[in-house]
Amino acid sequence: MFEWITSPEDWIALTTLLALEIVLGIDNIIFISILVGRLPPHERDLARRLGLAFAMITRVALLFSLSWIIGLVEPWFTVMGQEISGRDVVLILGGLFLLFKSTKEVHTIIEGEEGEGTAKVADTMLSTIVQIGILDLVFSLDSVITAVGLVEDLSIMVIAIVGAVVVMLFSARSIGEFIDKHPTIKMLALSFLMMIGLTLLVEGFDVHVPKGYIYFAMAFSVVVEVLNIQVRKRLRH
- Long-range CB pairs of 158-162 (<8 Å, 24+ gap) are 158/60, 158/63, 159/14, 159/18, 160/14, 160/17, 160/18, 160/21, 161/21, 161/56, 161/59, 161/60, 161/63, 162/56, 162/60
In a domain, 15, yes or no: yes
What pLDDT score was predicted for residue 119? 39
Tell me the residue range of the domain where 227 lies: 8-236
What does the pLDDT look like over 177-221, one tens digit per residue?
Answer: 777 777 777 788 788 778 878 887 888 887 887 777 777 887 888
In a domain, 186, yes or no: yes
In a domain, 201, yes or no: yes
Mean pLDDT of 102-123: 62
In a domain, 3, yes or no: no
What does the pLDDT look like over 124-161, one tens digit per residue?
Answer: 778 888 877 777 777 777 667 666 666 667 777 778 87
Number of domains composing the chain: 1
Mean pLDDT of 51-70: 74
Lowest mean pLDDT among 62-71, 104-113, 225-234: 62-71
In a domain, 183, yes or no: yes
In a domain, 54, yes or no: yes
In a domain, 2, yes or no: no
In a domain, 1, yes or no: no
